[in-house]
Amino acid sequence: MNEWKTFTGRLLWAMSRAGKTNQSELARAVGVKPQSIQYLCRADSGAQGSTHTPALAHELRVAAHWLASGEGHPADVEQTGLRFDDSASPSYVAGPVTRAKVTGTYRLTGTGDVEVLEPEAGWDAGHVLTPIVATGVHAIRVKGNALSPYVKDGQYLLLQSGSDQLPSEENILITLVGGQKLLRELMHQRDGSLVVLPVQGGQPEAIEVSTIQQIDSVVCVVSRRWWQAGDGSSR
């Protein structure tokens, strides 16, 4: 189908198929700003994809790989190892499943500053099943609702390390030299610095690359129901 040739075309087709054409409602469901959805839906935007693609695919009940690349078929959701249906609880199916190790618990402030919390007594970090097949990913558990509805207490941020390309509107976890961590939305890169925004909106700021120790891309928000203990039992 011709409309499947572009990311915007595939997104609009999936929204129509799912009966979710209200862009503001879709933004709330995914936990992003309406402007992000408006941009992705504009035919003249030239959008090549989004860090929110897995969450959009989940909400619209299409395959994330298809939505991102146009390869395969929109109904091939079993490729992720999870099958989504109309029931309240997801079903598991045989197939490849990506497990992301939970590496810690972080408290987020409304500005996106990050506090690393000490593990609770007896807490099993475990892992989360991810809604996409990906490599080099890990997850952090979020405490507090300061960044709701983007991410809520008890949910997980799926992070990917070592990404060479950071597209605009990507949410990133920045670790500064000295250990301070910041969750920000990337506006653009320029020589020697990143221009970023607080995830919930605010004034842009420039962060010098020389002060950055590590950058992790936020792949998506993962519901607490995808958590499993280290031995694979449900929580």
Do 122 and 191 lie in a common domain?
yes
Burial category of 169 from C-beta neighbours within 10 Å (exposed 0-12, middle 13-18, buried 19 and up)? buried
> Is 234 a member of any domain?
no
Do 137 and 222 lie in a common domain?
yes
Average pLDDT, the chain: 80
Q: Under 8 Å CB-to-CB from 131, ≥6 apart: which residues?
A: 54, 55, 57, 58, 64, 80, 82, 220, 222, 226
Domain of residue 142, residue span:
99-228
Least confidently predicted of 8-17, 79-88, 171-180: 79-88
Do 129 and 219 lie in a common domain?
yes
End-to-end CA separation in angstroms for the chain? 42
Rounded to two decimals, the pTM is: 0.59
> Is 233 a member of any domain?
no
Higher pLDDT, 182 or 43: 182
Contact 189, 206 (CB under 8 A): no
Number of domains in the chain: 2
